[in-house]
């Protein structure tokens, strides 16, 4: 169910703008890796290169290698659509399909994968909603619009939608930044639970959150205005937050800048 | 649902309250408020004046009418006694417009989807421009084109449809021709294409990036993304666009008048020559009409107005039906 990600020499561009430069790292399966760093340092851009979502922006392109176990995601024979079915994503703002019911939101990806049988759909929808700690709150109103839920519930609905297709990897781009503390806690509990089954990468601006949920933490930064973002350091979370190798990392986590 | 309504009322009340408070009573505010209110009222006054004028002109002719206005197929308001009914006109108008809509909507939405999601950016802007330009072609030009060029080529198409789909009453008949309701519908379809296409395009452009990315992120292909995120979001916009197109098709006058050959009586076989519409009939007959004849034509115009109104109301009802999800 979970795969290792190995990135080597990865660059990403928006048109002529060099957004991230020469990133190499390994993300272990069944673990949570947090990306931290100041705004504009390329964390989200890098995250989006891991499921080939970066290139959907006009003019955007990627160089380098991303290996998912032994498959290169950027090999010319690889269909980006197939990549996204294996590497799921949860966005900063909850984005359930506004015209769909709760049930249909979760079932959307399954239907794309050709699951048509009502009984198996029912089963996976329930399983996914339970996996996202949302089932008890919505089981009596599955036919109601997903957009009618609270922000935290919507985000868990999006997680349910992402895990319904049984991805190998789950990418989360600041999944709690639009949520209140209680909903954030619910998502963090969920992440802890999901990591037994998935490889999870989470971008966060909240360093306490990174410390709470992640096993490993990667710190990104830019050299200066207009320069591409770089990976400064990646290590066990406890080490990053207590005894980082790099001065820049220490400055950032102790709040001396950023 | 009662709680939702409660919230809405509450919000509505607050809006009204702030609306009042926002008016500070300064001269500029007062002038603006009266100008805005005046414009709003003016529209209603003009509408009412038009309606009153039409009814005033129509009623005497209707009183003299010896036939049933709503069900008679003949149109002889200048005869003595005058006999006229709108059945044929209503049939021709509704059938030709609906057919035009059926032809135009898929093409128009296809164009809009292509320019928004498939065409390379260098191509999409000029393409949209050219499609919009179709709306700028005067309808008399469409009429000439339909009459002189298209109708000649429609003969083959009509014969083919007649042979292949003749078992459907609409496409039946023995003598498919050039100057048929079907040809008129094709001309109308081209005329309403740009309005449906450009409004659909506007709606598609507004689909939130988040919805599109949501679909992409669960592994949707481009078409699946359109189906999951774009079409549901644009649904009411597309319906609105089609209804505007339908309105335009029903009101279109000169192009239809030029294409159609007048043959009296309702003919369900739309591939055969003949048929007429409200607007085309008014354009063709108004010049030579007697006083009663004019009144009769005005009455038929009123009916067209009512049909258009009903179409719009139906469209609104369709749009509102799934409001909970929008």
pLDDT at B7 over 60: no
What pLDDT does residue A82 have?
A: 92
Q: pLDDT-based confidence at A99, cuts 50/70/90?
A: confident
CB B221 within 8 A of CB B249: no
What's the pLDDT band for A223 if we cut at 50, 70, 90? Answer: confident
Residue B227 gets which letter from DSSP?
I
Closest CA–CA distance from residue B121 to any residue of chain A (Å): 9
Helix (H, G, I), strand (E, B) or coil at B39: helix
What is the pLDDT, as a whole number, of residue A230?
A: 92
| Length of chain A measured in residues | 258
Per-residue pLDDT at B13 exceeds 70: no
Assigned domain for A119 exists: no
Mean pLDDT of B147-165: 90
Q: pLDDT of A100-122, one tens digit each?
A: 999 999 999 999 888 889 999 99
Cβ contact, residue pair B214, A93, below 8 Å: no
Instruction: Kindly state whether A178 is in contact with chain B, defined as any CB-CB distance less than 8 angstroms.
Output: no
Closest CA–CA distance from residue A174 to any residue of chain B (Å): 14
Residue B223: give its domain's CATH number. 1.10.3720.10
State the average pLDDT over residues B134-156: 90
More confident residue, B318 or B146: B146
CA distance A81 to A86: 9
Check residues B83 and A223 and name the one with the higher pLDDT. Answer: B83
- Taking only the tens place, the pLDDT of each residue in B262-293 is 888 888 888 988 888 999 999 888 888 888 99
Q: How many domains does chain A have?
A: 1
- In total, chain B counts a number of residues equal to 326
pLDDT at A1: 58
- A15 in a domain, yes or no? yes
Inform me whether the pLDDT recorded for B8 exceeds 70. Answer: no
pLDDT classification of B317: cutoffs 50, 70, 90: confident
Answer whether B299 touches A (CB < 8 Å).
no
Residue A143 in any domain: the answer is no
Nearest to A51 among B121, B215, B217 (CB): B217
Calculate how close chain B gets to A145, using CA atoms only, in Å.
Answer: 6
B298 falls in which pLDDT band (50, 70, 90)?
A: very high
Domain shared by B14 and B151, yes or no:
no
Residue B59 shares a structural domain with residue B206: no
Residue B180 gets which letter from DSSP? B
Q: Could you tell me if B23 and B117 lie in one domain?
A: no
Q: Which of B215, B219, B233 shows the shortest C-beta gap to A85?
A: B219
Would you say residue A43 lies in a domain? yes
- pLDDT (0 to 100) of residue B308: 87
Name the average pLDDT for chain A: 91
* B11 and B152 in a common domain: no
Structural domain contains residue A144: no
- For residues B304-322, average pLDDT: 78
A77: domain CATH number? 3.40.50.300
State the total domains in chain B: 2
Look at residue A141 and tell me if it is in a domain. Answer: no
The tens digit of pLDDT for each residue in A70-98 reads 899 999 999 999 999 999 999 999 999 98
Q: Which of residues 162-221 of B touch A (CB under 8 A)?
A: 208, 210-211, 213-221
> Minimal Cα–Cα distance from A194 to chain B, Å?
18
Report the pLDDT value the prediction gives residue B22, as an integer from 0 to 100: 59
3-class DSSP state of B30: helix
**Are B218 and A145 a contacting pair at CB < 8 A?**
no
Taking alpha carbons only, the member of B146, A141, A11 closest to residue A157 is: A141
- Three-state SS sequence of B61-98: HHHHCCCCCCCCCCEECCCCCCEECCHHHHHHHHHHHH
Answer yes or no: is pLDDT of A123 > 60.
yes
**Could you report the per-residue pLDDT of B190-202, keeping only the tens digit for each?**
999 999 998 899 8
- Asked whether residue B139 is assigned to any structural domain, the reply reads yes
Q: Bigger pLDDT: B96 or B172?
A: B96
Of B12 and B120, more confident: B120
A25 CB neighbour count, 10 Å cutoff: 16
Residues of A within 8 A of B234 (CB-CB) are none
pLDDT tens-place string over residues B30-57: 899 999 999 999 999 998 998 899 899 9
Paired tokens of B266: 């309702």
pTM for this model (two decimals): 0.80
On whether both B141 and B250 belong to a single domain, the answer is: yes
Which 3-state string (H, E, C) describes chain A?
CCCCEEEEEEEEEECCEEEEEEEEEEECCCCEEEEECCCCCCHHHHHHHCCCCHHHCCCEEEEEEEEECCEECCCCCCCHHHHHHHEEEECCCCCCCCCCEHHHHHHHHHHHCCCCCHHHHHHHHHHHHHHCCCHHHHCCCCCCEHHHCCHHHHHHHHHHHHHHCCCCEEEEECCCCCCCHHHHHHHHHHHHHHCCCCEEEEECCCHHHHHHHCCEEEEEEECCCCCCEEEEEEEEHHHHHHCCCCHHHHHHHCCCCC
Does residue A30 lie within any of the structural domains?
yes
Domain end point (choices B33, B64, B95): B64
Round to whole Å and give the CA distance between B255 and B280: 8
Average pLDDT, chain B: 86
Whether the complex's predicted ipTM surpasses the cut of 0.95: no
CA B301/CA B198 separation, integer angstroms: 28
Residue from B218, B237, B319 to probe the interface with A (highest A Cβ count within 10 Å): B218
B320 vs A117, residue with greater confidence? A117
pLDDT at B236 over 90: no
Over 60: is that where the pLDDT of B11 sits?
no
- pLDDT tens-digit profile of A13-60? 998 899 999 999 999 999 999 999 998 899 999 999 999 999 998 889
> Dihedral, CA atoms, B288, B290, B291, B292, nearest 10 degrees?
-120
pLDDT at A58 (0 to 100): 86
- The share of chain A scoring above pLDDT 90, in percent, equals 72
pLDDT in the model for residue A153: 93
Torsion angle of C-alpha atoms A150, A154, A160, A161, degrees rounded to 10: 150
The mean pLDDT of A225-246, rounded to a whole number, is 91
Are B91 and B135 in a shared domain?
yes
**Does B264 fall in a domain?**
yes
Output the pLDDT for position A254: 87
Residue B47 falls inside a structural domain:
yes
Contact A100 B229 (CB under 8 A): no
- The answer to the question of residue A184 being in a domain is yes
Backbone dihedral region of A201: left (phi > 0), alpha (psi from -120 to 50 degrees) or beta? beta
Say yes or no to pLDDT of A67 above 90: yes
Residue B296 scores a pLDDT above 80: yes
Residue A209: domain span: 5-93+169-253
A112 and B121 within 8 Å at the Cβ level: the answer is: no
Determine, for residues A109 and B219 on separate chains, whether the beta-carbon distance falls below 8 Å. yes
In angstroms, the CA B75 to CA B92 distance is: 13
Task: Return the residue of A nearest to B323 by Cα.
Answer: A99
Residue range B135-163: mean pLDDT, rounded:
90
pLDDT digits (tens, 9 = 90+) for A126-142: 999 998 889 999 999 99
Contacts of A161 in chain B (CB under 8 A): 214, 218
Q: Does B43 share its domain with B103? A: no
pLDDT at position A72 is: 93
Spatial contact of A201 and A229, defined as CB atoms under 8 Å apart: no
CA distance linking residue A85 with residue A69, whole number of Å: 15
Q: Which domain holds residue B54?
A: 2-64
Contact A65, A7 (CB under 8 A): yes
Same domain, B91 and B190: yes
Q: Is B7 among the domain residues?
A: yes
């Amino acid at each position: 169910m979970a795969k290792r990600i190995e990135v080597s020499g990865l660059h990403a561009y928006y048109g002529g703008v060099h957004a991230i430069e020469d990133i190499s790292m390994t993300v272990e399966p069944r673990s949570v890796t947090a990306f931290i760093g100041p705004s504009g340092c390329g964390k989200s851009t890098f995250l989006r290169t891991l499921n080939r979502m970066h290139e959907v922006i006009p003019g955007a392109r990627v160089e380098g290698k991303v290996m998912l176990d032994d498959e290169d995601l950027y090999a010319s024979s690889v269909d980006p659509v197939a990549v996204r079915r294996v590497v799921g994503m949860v966005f900063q703002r909850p984005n359930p399909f506004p015209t769909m019911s709760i049930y249909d939101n979760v079932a959307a990806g399954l239907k794309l994968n050709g699951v048509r049988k009502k009984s198996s759909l029912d089963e996976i929808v329930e399983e996914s909603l339970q996996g996202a700690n949302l089932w008890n709150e919505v089981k009596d109103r599955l036919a109601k619009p997903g957009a009618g839920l609270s922000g935290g519930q919507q985000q868990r609905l999006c997680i349910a939608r992402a895990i319904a297709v049984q991805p190998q990897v789950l990418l989360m781009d600041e999944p709690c930044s639009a949520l209140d503390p209680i909903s954030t806690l619910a998502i963090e509990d969920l992440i802890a639970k999901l990591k037994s089954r998935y490889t999870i990468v989470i971008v966060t601006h909240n360093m306490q959150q990174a410390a709470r949920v992640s096993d490993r933490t990667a710190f990104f930064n830019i050299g200066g205005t207009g320069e591409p973002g770089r990976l400064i350091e990646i290590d066990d979370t406890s080490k990053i937050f207590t005894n980082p190798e790099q001065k820049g990392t220490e400055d950032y986590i102790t709040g001396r800048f950023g | 649902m009662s709680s939702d309504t409660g919230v809405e009322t509450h919000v509505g009340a607050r809006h009204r309250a702030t609306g009042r408070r926002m008016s500070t009573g300064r001269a500029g505010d007062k002038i603006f408020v009266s100008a805005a209110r005046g414009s709003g009222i003016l529209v209603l006054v003009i509408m009412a004046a038009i309606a009153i004028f039409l009814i005033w002109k129509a009623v005497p002719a209707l009183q003299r009418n010896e036939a049933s206005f709503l069900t008679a197929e003949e149109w002889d308001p200048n005869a003595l006694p005058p006999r006229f009914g709108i059945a044929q006109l209503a049939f021709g108008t509704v059938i030709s417009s609906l057919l035009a809509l059926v032809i135009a909507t898929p093409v128009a939405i296809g164009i809009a989807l292509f320019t928004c999601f498939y065409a390379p950016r260098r191509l999409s802007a000029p393409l949209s421009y050219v499609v919009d330009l179709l709306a700028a072609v005067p309808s008399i030009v469409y009429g000439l084109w339909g009459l002189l060029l298209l109708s000649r080529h429609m003969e083959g198409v009509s014969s083919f449809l007649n042979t292949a789909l003749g078992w459907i009453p609409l496409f039946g008949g023995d003598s498919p021709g050039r100057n048929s309701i079907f040809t008129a519908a094709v001309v109308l379809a081209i005329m309403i294409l740009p309005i449906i296409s450009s409004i659909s395009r506007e709606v598609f452009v507004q689909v939130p990036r988040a919805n599109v990315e949501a679909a992409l992120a669960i592994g949707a292909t481009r078409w699946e993304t359109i189906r999951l995120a774009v079409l549901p979001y644009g649904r009411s916009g597309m319906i609105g666009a089609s209804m505007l197109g339908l309105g335009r098709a029903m009101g279109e006058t000169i192009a239809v008048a030029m294409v159609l050959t007048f043959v009296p009586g309702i003919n369900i076989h739309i591939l055969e020559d003949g048929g007429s519409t409200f607007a085309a009939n008014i354009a063709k007959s108004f010049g030579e009409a007697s006083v009663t004849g004019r009144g009769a034509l005005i009455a038929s115009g009123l009916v067209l107005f009512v049909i258009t109104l009903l179409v719009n109301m139906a469209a609104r009802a369709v749009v509102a039906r799934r409001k909970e999800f929008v």
